[in-house]
Amino acid sequence: MNLHGLVAPAIGIVNPFVSATVRRSSGYTVQPDGNRVPTYTEFPARVQVQALTYTDITRLDSQNIQGVRRAIYLNGAVMGIVRVDERGGDLIVFPAGTLPEGNIWLAAHVLEAWPDWCKVAITLQNGS
Report which DSSP code applies to 101.
T
Q: N- to C-terminal Cα distance for the chain?
A: 38
Q: How far is CA 57 from CA 53, 54, 98, in A?
A: 6, 5, 23
pLDDT tens digits for range 66-116 = 678 899 999 888 888 777 776 768 999 999 989 888 899 999 888 999 988
- Is CATH 2.30.30 what the domain over 3-124 is classified as, yes or no? no
Rounded (10°) CA dihedral 35, 106, 43, 1: 140
Taking the domains of the chain in order of start, what are their residue ranges?
A: 3-124
CA torsion sign for 102, 125, 25, 7 is negative
Mean confidence (pLDDT) of the chain: 84
